[in-house]
Chains A and B, each alone.
Chain A
Amino acid sequence: VDTLQAGLWADIYNVEQRPLNPAEAVSFVEAPGNGAAVVFIGSVRNRNQGRDVVGVSYDVFEPLAKKSFVDICEEARRQWSPELRMCIVHAKGRLDVGGISVIIAAASPHRDEAFKACRYAIEEIKLRSAVWKQEHYTDGDSEWLQGHALCGHSHD
Chain B
Amino acid sequence: MKVTVQLHGAFKQLGDQIELTLAYGTRVADLQELFMKTVEKCNPELYKQGWLRASRFCDDTRILRASQPLNDGQRLIILPPVSGG
Q: Which residues from chain A sit less than 8 Å from chain B, CB to CB?
A: 42, 58-61, 63-65, 67, 90, 101-102, 122, 125-134, 144-150, 152-156
Contact = CB atoms under 8 A, between A and B. Distances in A.
Contacts of B67: 156
Nearest to B55: A149
Contact of A150 (B60, B65, B81): B81
B84 A61 contact: no
Contacts of B63: 150, 152-153
A150 B10 contact: no
B85 interface: yes
Given A145-B83, A150-B82, A152-B56, A132 B9 contact: yes
Given A64-B60, A150-B56, A129 B8 contact: no
Q: How large is the interface on B (under 10, 10 to 19, 20 to 34, 35 or more residues)?
A: 20 to 34
Interface of A is mostly: mixed
A149 B32 CA distance: 15
A16 to B, nearest CB: 16
Nearest to B7: A59
A132 B84 contact: yes
A149 B54 CA distance: 5
B43 to A, nearest CB: 13
Interface in B31-85: 32, 54-58, 60-68, 77, 79-85
